[in-house]
A and B are shown apart, each in its own frame.
Chain A
C-alpha cells in the first residue's frame, strides 16, 4: 500500500477525481473504438509509424489543439478564481499548480508543436522537397515531444503537478520547498520534449540548407522558410542550454546535488541565468515563424510581393542575434547593478528596431495592393494593432529602472500575453485557416471564421488591457487571491469576461472545423487562395511524394511567376522517386522514454535502469539496421497524378 501512496495527488479535489474518470473513460473509448472498428492495423501502418512530414505535421497539429484546450481550461480557472476578491474557488496550492501548468503547456506543448506542425507540413512543400532531410528523426522528434507532453499531463492525476511557476526558479523548485514530485515531472517531461525539439531544429536547418529545389538560392526562399530557418538555428543554439539546466535541476532533485540550492555552494541565480538563456530565445523561436506566416498571408491577400524582402531577412537575422544577449532583462531586479542593467536594457530595447521594420514592411506591403479580407488576412490585420500595443509595452518593460515597478506585476502579464496571443496564436490560427485546404482538401467556413477572429481579438483586448492598470496599481502576478480593499476586483472581473469571450471564440473555431468538415465543398482547386509560393503548385491532397517532378525556381514567389509571367516550374518528365520506409522505432523509443521519465519522477530505480539500457539498445539497433527505402515507379506516379486531376506541368 505504501508503494501506491506516492502516486496519489497531494491535493485531491472533486475536479481532479472527475478528470481521472474522464481520462480513463476516454482512453477506454479510444482503445475500444479502435479494436471494434479494427483500425489498429491502419493506425499503425499509416500514422504511428509514418515518416511522411505531412502526416507528422498533422499529428503535431492534433496534439497542439488538444493541449490548447488543456492550457485554456487552466487559464479560465485562474481568471475565474481571480474574478472576485477573496474568492474560494481554488486554494493556493491548486492555483499554483494551475498557473505553472498553464505556462508550460501553452508555451512548450501548444505553441511549439503548433508551429512545428505548420513547419513540418509547409517547409518541404515550400522549398520543393519530397521530405525533410532525416525523415525517421522527424518521426522521433514528434514522438519524443508527444511522450514528454503526455508525461507532463498525467502529473495532475498521478503524484501532483509542478507548482513553482513555469520558470521553476530555485530554491523554490528544490526538494526543500517543493516536496511533492510535481517539479520532477517538469524536469523530465521538458527534457524529453526538448530533445525532440532539438532534433527537429537540426533536421529542419539541414533540410532548408540542403534540400531546396534547383534555382532556389537563399535569397529566393519564401519568407516562411526564411523564418523557419532562423528559428531552427536559434533552436540548435538555445535548446542545449535547457537540456543542461534541466539535467542539473533533475540531479538536484533526484540525487541531492547542490547546483541550484542555497546550501553547499549552490547558486539559485544560476538556474535563472540558464533558464532565460534558453527562455528568451525561445520567445523568438515562437514569434519568428509567426512573422513568416504573416508575411505569406499579407502578401497573398494584398496581391502584392512582400515589401522590403531583404530588410525582412536582415531584421530576422538581427533579432536572432539580439535574442541571445537580452536574457538578464528577466531579472533586472536581482541586484546586478546599474551597469549590467544598462547594457541589457539597451540590447532589449534595440530589438524594437528590427521588429518595427517588420511591422512597417507589412504595412507597406498593403500599399498599392488589392486587399481582400479573408479569415487569415483578418487575423493578420487584427494582429498588427494589438501586437503593436504589446510590443511598445515591451519597450517600456525594457527600460530597466522603470522595470523595477513593472517586474512581477500584472503589467508584465498583460505585455507578454498581448505579444504572444496576437503574435503567435493569431498567426497559428491564420496559418491553420490558410493551409487547411492544402492539408485537408476543403476550406473552413469564412463567416464563422470571421466571427471567431473578431471575438478572439476583442476578448484578448478585454482580458489583458485591464492588467496594465491593475499592474500599475500594484497587483503582483501569481497571487491566488487579494482583498477587496486593494481595488483590483473590477479589473480582474473585466479580465474574466474577456477570457470567457476568448473561450467562445475557441468554441466557434471548433464548431467551424466540425461544420466545414460536414458541409464544405470538396471541389476546390489546388490553389484556392490564388497564392504565390510553391506549396500551392502541387495537388490537393498532396501526394506522398509531394512533387511528381522537382520544380525549378527563379524567384521568391515562384508559383506566382509561373501563373502570371509564364515561368515554367516543372520542366522534366517523370522519374522514379526514392522514398524512406516507415519505421516503428521512433514511437517505441518514445514509449520507452515515457517510462524512463516516469521512473525517474518517482525514483523507481529498477525500471529506470532497464529503460536507460533499452534506449541505448534502440539506438544501437537503429545504427545497425539496413534500410534503403523504396522507389515509387513512373507508372505509379502517372496513375496517381491522373487520379489527382492531371499532370502538373
Chain B
C-alpha cells in the first residue's frame, strides 16, 4: 500500500515538475511527516477525482455525439423515460462509496494531524508559542527562554508543538512544507503539531487576510539537526538583548519588521489566552479553582524559571 502510494506520488511529482519547470509545488514537496500525510491525501483524492471527471466527460461526449439531432431522422420522437431504479441506484451508490472511502481516509488523517508526530520515537515535543501581531510573527521558546521575530529555527526529527494566538485580527499560521495551517486568534490558543525531517529553509506565512500589511506577513523557517539548534540557542543566549515589556509593546505597533532576536519571552508579562474550550477568560482572579489550574497548566512553559 505504502509502495503504491509512493509510486503515485512519484508519478504525480513527475507531471507537476514538468508543469512547473522542474520545481515541485510547495504543498506537494513535503519536508516533514505531517506534510507528507497531507500531500499523500491530496494526491490520492486527485486520482479518484480524475476518475470521476473522466467518467462524466466520456458519458457527456458519448451522449452529445450519439443523440444529436443532425444524426437522427426527422421523424424521430424521443421516448418518455421516467427513470430506472438500477441506474439511479448506481448513480447514488458509486459516489457514496467514494465519499465513504475518502471519509475513512480523512478521519484517520484528522487524528494524525491533530496529535504529536509519532515517528520521532517518543521524543518530548518542542513547544513554541507563535503569536501574530499586525503584521509580524513572534516566536517564543519557553524551554530555551528565547524569543525571535519573523524567523524560526527548529530542530529536525523532533515533534514541534506550536501554540498559536494573535495580538490582533485572526491570522493563520502556515508552513506548507512542514504541514497544514491553523488559525491564531486573540481569544484562544490553538495547537498545531508539525515536524521536519529534512534540514533546509522553508517559507512560512500568515494565510488568513488580516488587513493592509497581509501580503508581506511572512517568516522564514530553518530546520537543522538538534546539535546545530542547541548551538544556535546558546549563541542567542550570549549575544541577544533581553526582551522587556516596553520593547515588546513597541514591537506590537502595526508595521513590518525585519528579523529580531531576544533572550527571555513575552509570555511572562503578556500571557497567551487560554486554550480552546475555555477562551475569553482573561480575568484569572474571577475564575474558580479548576480554571486557575488550567491557567497554571497553560503557562507552565511561560514560568519556566
- Interface residues of chain A, those whose CB is within 8 Å of chain B, are 92-93, 96, 163-165, 169, 171-172, 177-178, 262, 265-269, 302-305, 307-311, 331, 333-338, 341-342, 345-346, 349-350, 352-353, 356-357, 359-361, 363-364, 366-373, 381, 384-385, 388-389, 392-393, 395-396, 399-405, 407-409, 469, 472-474, 476-482, 487
CB distance from A167 to the nearest CB of B (A): 9
A residues near B185, Cβ cutoff 8 Å: 262, 268-269, 334
Q: Mark B154-185, 1 if CB is under 8 A from A, else 0.
A: 00000000001000111010101001111101
Please give me the residue from chain A that is nearest to B108 by CB atom: A401
Q: Which of B6-55 contact A (CB under 8 A)?
A: 16, 19-20, 23, 25-28, 35, 37-39, 41-42, 45-46, 49, 52-53
A residues near B290, Cβ cutoff 8 Å: none
CB distance from B128 to the nearest CB of A (A): 16
Q: Does A401 contact B41, Cβ atoms closer than 8 Å?
A: yes
Q: Does A353 contact B99, Cβ atoms closer than 8 Å?
A: yes
Q: Mark B101-135, 1 if CB is under 8 A from A, else 0.
A: 01101110111111100000000000000000010
B residues near A93, Cβ cutoff 8 Å: 212
A residues near B99, Cβ cutoff 8 Å: 346, 349-350, 352-353, 395
Q: Does B182 contact A335, Cβ atoms closer than 8 Å?
A: yes
A307-B81, A335-B182, A385-B60 given; 12 more Cβ-contact pairs under 8 Å: A266-B187, A345-B110, A346-B103, A352-B95, A352-B99, A363-B56, A368-B79, A371-B69, A385-B57, A395-B102, A401-B180, A404-B38
Please give me the residue from chain A that is nearest to B112 by CB atom: A401
A residues near B63, Cβ cutoff 8 Å: 363, 366-367, 369, 371
Q: Does A370 contact B67, Cβ atoms closer than 8 Å?
A: yes
- A369 to B67 Cα, complex, angstroms: 6
Q: Mark B125-150, 1 if CB is under 8 A from A, else 0.
A: 00000000010000000000000000
Q: Does A368 contact B28, Cβ atoms closer than 8 Å?
A: no
The answer to whether B301 has its CB under 8 Å from any CB of chain A is no
Q: Does B207 contact A476, Cβ atoms closer than 8 Å?
A: yes
Please give me the residue from chain A that is nearest to B109 by CB atom: A401
- Give the residue of A171, A262, A304, A399 whose beta carbon is less than 8 angstroms from that of B81: A304
Q: Does A267 contact B187, Cβ atoms closer than 8 Å?
A: yes
Q: Which of B80-109 contact A (CB under 8 A)?
A: 80-83, 87-88, 91-92, 95-96, 98-99, 102-103, 105-107, 109
- A334 to B79 Cα, complex, angstroms: 53
Q: Does B67 contact A368, Cβ atoms closer than 8 Å?
A: yes
How many contacts A-B (CB < 8 Å)? Answer: 282
A residues near B229, Cβ cutoff 8 Å: none
Please give me the residue from chain B that is nearest to A315 by CB atom: B92
CB distance from A648 to the nearest CB of B (A): 25
- Give the residue of A359, A366, A472 whose beta carbon is less than 8 angstroms from that of B64: A366
Q: Does A92 contact B212, Cβ atoms closer than 8 Å?
A: yes
Please give me the residue from chain A that is nearest to B97 by CB atom: A353
What are 17 contact pairs spanning A and B, CB under 8 A?
A349-B102, A350-B99, A357-B92, A357-B95, A366-B67, A370-B67, A384-B56, A389-B53, A399-B45, A399-B106, A401-B109, A402-B109, A405-B39, A408-B207, A474-B25, A479-B214, A482-B215
Which one of A92, A381, A404 has the highest number of Cβ atoms from chain B below 10 Å of its Cβ?
A: A404
The answer to whether B280 has its CB under 8 Å from any CB of chain A is yes
Q: Does B23 contact A401, Cβ atoms closer than 8 Å?
A: no
- A331 to B276 Cα, complex, angstroms: 14
Which one of A165, A302, A396 has the highest number of Cβ atoms from chain B below 10 Å of its Cβ?
A: A396
CB distance from B29 to the nearest CB of A (A): 9
- A350 to B57 Cα, complex, angstroms: 22
Q: Does A408 contact B45, Cβ atoms closer than 8 Å?
A: no
Q: Does B83 contact A337, Cβ atoms closer than 8 Å?
A: no
Q: Which of B54-79 contact A (CB under 8 A)?
A: 56-57, 59-60, 63-64, 67-69, 72, 76-79
Q: A266-B187, A337-B276, A371-B69 are in contact. Are A480 and B106 (CB under 8 A)?
A: no
- Give the residue of A364, A392, A469 whose beta carbon is less than 8 angstroms from that of B53: A392
- A409 to B134 Cα, complex, angstroms: 20
Q: Does A370 contact B72, Cβ atoms closer than 8 Å?
A: yes
A residues near B23, Cβ cutoff 8 Å: 487
B residues near A479, Cβ cutoff 8 Å: 214-215
A residues near B181, Cβ cutoff 8 Å: 333, 404-405, 407-408
B residues near A169, Cβ cutoff 8 Å: 169-170, 208-209
Q: Does A177 contact B27, Cβ atoms closer than 8 Å?
A: no
B residues near A476, Cβ cutoff 8 Å: 174, 205-208
- A160 to B25 Cα, complex, angstroms: 38
- A539 to B70 Cα, complex, angstroms: 30
Which one of A169, A177, A472 has the highest number of Cβ atoms from chain B below 10 Å of its Cβ?
A: A472
The answer to whether B213 has its CB under 8 Å from any CB of chain A is yes
Q: Does A367 contact B67, Cβ atoms closer than 8 Å?
A: yes
Q: Does A345 contact B103, Cβ atoms closer than 8 Å?
A: yes
The answer to whether B188 has its CB under 8 Å from any CB of chain A is yes
CB distance from B187 to the nearest CB of A (A): 5
- A78 to B129 Cα, complex, angstroms: 35
Q: Does A384 contact B214, Cβ atoms closer than 8 Å?
A: no
- A338 to B106 Cα, complex, angstroms: 10
CB distance from A257 to the nearest CB of B (A): 15
Which one of A92, A266, A309, A353 has the highest number of Cβ atoms from chain B below 10 Å of its Cβ?
A: A353
Q: Does B78 contact A370, Cβ atoms closer than 8 Å?
A: yes
The answer to whether B258 has its CB under 8 Å from any CB of chain A is no
CB distance from A303 to the nearest CB of B (A): 5
Q: Does A171 contact B168, Cβ atoms closer than 8 Å?
A: yes
- A352 to B214 Cα, complex, angstroms: 34
Q: A92-B212, A93-B212, A177-B211 are in contact. Are A368 and B78 (CB under 8 A)?
A: yes
Q: Does B211 contact A472, Cβ atoms closer than 8 Å?
A: no
CB distance from A461 to the nearest CB of B (A): 13
A residues near B88, Cβ cutoff 8 Å: 308, 311, 357, 361
Q: Does B42 contact A262, Cβ atoms closer than 8 Å?
A: no
Q: Does B20 contact A333, Cβ atoms closer than 8 Å?
A: no
Please give me the residue from chain B that is nearest to A331 by CB atom: B183
The answer to whether B279 has its CB under 8 Å from any CB of chain A is yes
- Give the residue of B25, B82, B109 whose beta carbon is less than 8 angstroms from that of A472: B25
